[in-house]
Amino acid sequence: MTELPWIGAADIAALLPMARAIDAVEAALLGGLDPASEPARSRVDTANGHLLLMPSEGAEFVGVKVASVTPGNPARGLPRIQAGYLLFDGATLSPRALLDGAQLTSLRTPALSGVAGRHLARPAAHRVVVFGTGPQAYAHIEAMCAIRPIDDIAVVGRDPGRAAPLVAKLAEAGLAAQEGSRADVAEADVVVCATSSKEPVFDGTLLSSSACVLACGSHEPDARELDNAVMSRGYVVVEDAATALRETGDVIRAVADGALRPDVLVGLADVVTGRSEVPDDRPRVFTSVGMAWEDLAVAAEVYRRWNGSV
C-alpha cells in the first residue's frame, strides 16, 4: 500500500467552504441516505476520558472516525475532543486518505445545522441569538449567514466577559454583532445553542412561534440545552429518532418529564425530502448529537476536491 495522503485542518478549510459543506450534507439525505440504518457509535472508557468509534458507509466511500474525549485536557491547554478520520474506497475497501478528524467535526456540525436551518428557518430570518462563545458558535454563525440574510447577531455567553472576544471576531469579519442576554430569544428568528451546558440555557416560553432553534451541544443523555417549554411547544426534528432517544439529553429528559412524546419526533431526512410538512404555527426545533454519516459526507467531498474529481 502506498503512503496515505494526509489532509490537514488548513486543507479541509480551504477545500470545503461552509456553504459547500452544507450542500454536501444535504446531498447525502437527498440521495436516499437513511440515518436510521447507521450503526450506533461505540464508546470505550479510558482512565482519563473515552474513545468514540464512528463508522459509516456511503455509495462511493466508507469511513471511520476515531475521536478521543478528555475532560481534563482544557486545563492542560489541549483540546477536549481530538480525532482522526480514515477514508476507504467503497468498492475495494482500500484506504484512500487520512483527514484531521477535529476539523472535520468542526465543519460537519454547523453544516448539519445549516441543512436543518435551510428547511426550518423562515426565508426572511435575519436575527440570530447564539448561546456559546467558542469555535462552534462562530462556525454556526457562518452557517446561518450561508443560508439566510443575517444582519443582526446577539452572542450570549454563560460566563461574564466570554462573549466580547467573539463579538470582536465577528466584527472583524464584517458581521453586525453585539453581546446579548437570554431575554433576546423573544425577538430571535433563529436561536443557536452551541454550549457544553448540562442545563437549559434559556426560557422556552419566550420563543416566538415563528422561531427556529438549532441545538448541537446536547450529546449526552444527562445534558440538555433546551427546556421542557421548547420541547413541548416545538415541531421537534432530530437526525434519527432512535439515536436521539439513546443519546440526546434534550430529548431524553423532555420525554422523562412528560413534556415530549417519542412518537412525535421527526427525522431530518423526512424534512429535507419533503415527506414531512413543516408547520407554521409553532417553533421549529432541531437538536443533534452528530452521526457518522455526516462525517463521511463531508470527508468524501473534501477528498473529491483534494484529488480533483469535482
CATH 3.40.640.10 for the 112-291 domain, yes or no: no
Each residue's pLDDT tens digit, 91-119: 999 999 999 999 999 999 999 999 999 99
* DSSP H/E element including 246: helix 241-247
- Averaged confidence pLDDT in the chain: 95
Each residue's pLDDT tens digit, 132-191: 999 999 999 999 999 999 999 999 998 878 899 999 999 999 998 999 999 999 999 999
Q: Do residues 286 and 46 touch, judged by C-beta distance below 8 A?
A: no
Fold adopted by 6-105+293-306: ornithine cyclodeaminase, domain 1 (3.30.1780)
**What is the mean pLDDT of the segment spanning 271-296?**
96
**What is the mean pLDDT of the segment spanning 274-296?**
96
pLDDT attached to residue 74: 87
Q: How far apart are the C-alpha atoms of 232 and 259, rounded to whole Å?
A: 5
Each residue's pLDDT tens digit, 24-50: 999 999 999 999 999 988 999 999 999
Q: How far apart are the C-alpha atoms of 34 and 230, rounded to whole Å?
A: 27
Percent of the chain topping pLDDT 70: 100
Domain ranges of the chain: 6-105+293-306, 112-291
Decide whether 6-105+293-306 matches 112-291 in CATH topology.
Answer: no
> Which residues, other chains included, contact 79 with Cβ-Cβ below 8 Å and sequence gap of 6+?
73, 102
Beta-strand pair 284-287/235-238: parallel
Residue 4: CB atoms within 10 Å: 13
Amino acid at position 119, single letter: H
pLDDT attached to residue 3: 87
Helices and strands counted in the chain (H then E): 11, 14
pLDDT at 1 over 70: no
